[in-house]
């Protein structure tokens, strides 16, 4: 058994409390299919275009995340966290997750697990046993601000979403070297 032989984790959102669904679509990510090279760290390293609809009444902001549950760690790998997106925003252009990008309203990005406050594209270890899944999730929040700052970790942001999210939807792509 090599160090990367392991059981594939489940969809991380299957184990959270169920919330009303949000329809998430993308011109760059086809659900369950391989990511385009634009979303791969060693190639384009660009956040995908995302659109969403059907947020529940009372939505006052959004948090957008990209999470890889298949990273060979007990905690997965956070590739992107965009916090406090205004409620009137229902789409993001490709590339908005670049460092210094023109973010909507007073939204801001947290440091990803690679240590930078921007989008980090797919980068699984070479030779991993299965394709990694990248969940691009849109979380509707019933408050204008999640109440965290740019120094908050993605895990603590996710913890706050467990109590403040009122809707959720996602699209996921895959990548394997």
The string of pLDDT tens digits covering residues 123-141 is 999 888 889 999 999 999 9
Q: Burial level of 56, CB count in 10 A (0-12/13-18/19+)?
A: middle
Q: Establish if 37 belongs to a structural domain.
A: yes
pLDDT per position as a tens digit, 42-53: 999 999 999 999
2 has pLDDT over 70 = no
Domain with 30, as residue range(s), is 16-41+60-169
CA distances from 71 to 8, 15, 76, 89, 140 (A): 9, 18, 5, 31, 26
CA dihedral of 73, 156, 163, 62, whole degrees rounded to 10: -100
Q: Establish if 5 belongs to a structural domain.
A: no
Average pLDDT on 81-110 reads 97
What CATH number did the domain enclosing 99 receive?
3.90.280.10
Closest CA relative to residue 168, chosen from 145, 146, 139, 143: 139
């Amino acid at each position: 058994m090599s160090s990367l032989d392991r059981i594939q984790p489940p969809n991380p959102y299957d184990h959270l409390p169920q919330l009303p669904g949000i329809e998430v679509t993308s011109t760059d990510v086809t659900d369950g299919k391989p990511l385009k090279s634009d979303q791969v760290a060693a190639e384009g390293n660009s956040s995908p275009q995302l659109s969403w609809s059907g947020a529940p009444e009372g939505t006052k902001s959004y948090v957008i995340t990209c999470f890889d549950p298949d990273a060979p760690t007990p905690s997965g790998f956070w590739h992107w966290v965009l916090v406090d997106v205004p409620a009137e925003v229902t789409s993001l252009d490709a590339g908005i997750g670049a460092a210094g990008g023109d973010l909507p309203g007073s939204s801001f990005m947290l440091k990803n697990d690679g240590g930078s406050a921007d989008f980090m594209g797919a980068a699984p270890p070479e030779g991993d046993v299965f394709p990694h899944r990248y969940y691009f999730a849109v979380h509707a929040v019933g408050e204008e601000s999640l109440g965290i700052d740019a120094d908050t970790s993605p895990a603590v942001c996710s913890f706050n979403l467990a109590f403040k999210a009122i809707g959720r939807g996602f699209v996921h792509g895959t990548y394997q070297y």
